[in-house]
Amino acid sequence: VSIRGPVPILSASLVAAVVSAATALSAFLGELPSRFGWPYLILGGAFVYLGRQAYDELRTQSEVAAQRQSQVTLLHVELEQHRSSVDDLADGLDTAVFICDSGDKIEFANRRARELFGFDEPIGRSIVTVTLSYELGQLVSRLRESKQPQSAEILFTYPSERVGQAKSWTADGERIFLSVYEITDLRRLERIRQDFVANVSHELRTPMTIIRAMAETLLDDPDDERREKYLTKIVAEVDRLSTISQDLLVLSTAESNPVRKQACDVAEVFRSVLGQLDGKASDKGLETAYEGPEHLTIEANSAQMTQVALNLVDNAINYTIDGSVIVQIEPRDEKVLIKVRDTGMGIAGEHLPRIFERFYRVDKARSRSTGGTGLGLSIVRHIVEAHGGTVVVESALNQGSTFTVTLPVS
Ligand code: ADP
């Protein structure tokens, strides 16, 4: 904002000096008729009149000056308020915003811009120095050449690896605006979704290929003996397909619905699942045991807790050749620790970070032979985390495994 034209600034002392000079002059002129006669009196009157005019003029100018001064102060206050609102607005955005001058030096950077590039004081530095991104520099150069808005998806490597959607534009061809919206999570989720779709189609294709091959063989060779064998295999593969679709449904329901918690007796849930699978364990010569309180009520979704118990205990039985499967429940502070311990084949260290991923299996053939889908542990993790808990595994090859679920009591 600028005030156009000169602003006469008149100090109070100048006004006072003029007033006292005019007063002295008028007193002096009052004595003139007796001393010097009427012509001088008229002349004195004219002087007084002119002095008065000058005084009034000066007074008006001083008032105008004071008025303008207060307008300027008001405008300064308004400007400050406006600037601070714009700063607050820019700082509240999730998008990094830079304003650069005609030499590509940063004039303004909002809070997100400082955070994203880990730079506390970017003002006065070049955009490439602050972002360490050659591609962002290129985007600005293209804008300078074409004067047309530019945009690009950029992989930033400093201070950590992130993907951003960058845009730059200019209004006057000199000052440029630059925005960077981080889309790292979006791209990661997209990749997960693509992998998931690829995995699902692969998982479905395998049994379908087997079913088709068996059915074709049956068509060509309706030998009674083989028919039974092939039909049994077809039924097993169809069962497998339905297990996969069931697990996918459980996973997608858990992911899309918020958890509905009620009072849930987790001790009862795990004891009853252990009882349900006891037959399967004893068929393999495994011992099962429950250690913990008879009842322990927490706030949780009972159906989902049953799913967690089923997946963990079933895995423990599936991946254990001899020994035992033990469930231990222990209340601790405001939490409850649930351990599913087995003396089975264990998991080698290199697989541990990945076993909660969807469709990840250490040994595909073994998982297949036990009717596994590779989704059990990812369902467990999803349900537990949706309840505000955690699940971790301790295991070593041939040393057994312990899966520990920690859940908040409420
Ligand atoms: P799956 O349906 O194949 O069992 P999960 O998601 O339940 O899929 O488990 C992923 C993989 O983790 C399994 O394929 C298996 O290799 C390993 N795993 C899970 N639980 C155990 C366990 N108790 N002992 C050894 N390996 C296990």
Question: Looking at the predicted structure, is the pLDDT value of residue 258 above 90?
Answer: no
Q: For the stretch 25-57, what's the b/e string if a residue is b when 16 or more beta carbons lie within 10 angstroms of its beta carbon?
A: eeeebeebeeeeeeeebeebbebbeebeeebee
User: Model confidence at 208, in pLDDT bands (50, 70, 90)?
Assistant: very high
| pLDDT reported for residue 33 | 63
Neighbours of 294 (CB within 10 A): 10
3 state SS of 246:
helix
**Cβ 389 under 6 angstroms from ligand 1:** no
pLDDT higher for 3 or 45?
45
Question: What φ, ψ does residue 364 adopt, rounded to 5°?
Answer: -60, -45
The pLDDT value given to residue 259? 86
Q: How far is 355 from 372, CA to CA, in rounded Å?
A: 13
Distance 332 CA to ligand 1 centre (A): 27
Q: Do 27 and 19 touch, CB atoms closer than 8 A?
A: no
Determine the Cα–Cα distance for residues 87 and 181; give it in Å rounded to an integer: 18
Would the CB of 342 count as within 6 Å of ligand 1? yes
Its pTM stands at 0.66
pLDDT tier for residue 32 given thresholds of 50, 70 and 90: low
Residue 137 backbone phi and psi in degrees, to 5: -60, -40
**Local confidence band at 367 (pLDDT 50, 70, 90 cut-offs):** confident
Residue 220: predicted pLDDT = 82
Strand partners, 406: 337, 390
Confidence of residue 1 (pLDDT cuts 50, 70, 90): very low
Rounded to the nearest 5 degrees, what angle is found at the Cα of 243, between the Cα atoms of 238 and 246? 125
Q: Is the CB of 133 under 6 A from ligand 1?
A: no
Confidence of residue 182 (pLDDT cuts 50, 70, 90): very high
> Whose CA is closest to atom 14 on ligand 1?
361
Which residue's alpha carbon is at the smallest distance from atom 25 of ligand 1? 346
Helical residues (DSSP H) of 31-169, grouped into ranges: 32-36, 38-92, 111-116, 127-131, 134-146
Tell which one of 246, 310, 315 to mutate to probe ligand 1, the residue whose CB is within 8 A of the most ligand atoms: 315
- Give the Å distance between the CA of 314 and the centre of ligand 1: 9
Q: How many whole angstroms from 344 Cα to the centroid of ligand 1?
A: 11
Neighbour count for residue 73 (Cβ, 10 Å): 10
Task: Specify the pLDDT at position 224.
Answer: 73
Calculate what percentage of the chain has a pLDDT beyond 70. 95
The residue behind tokens 């009972």 is 302
- Whether residue 54 contacts residue 40, with contact meaning beta carbons closer than 8 Å, is answered with no
Atom from ligand 1 closest to the CA of residue 379: 6
Average pLDDT over every residue of 106-115: 95
Residue 356 CA: nearest ligand 1 atom is 6
* pLDDT tens, position by position, 34-57: 666 777 778 778 888 998 999 999
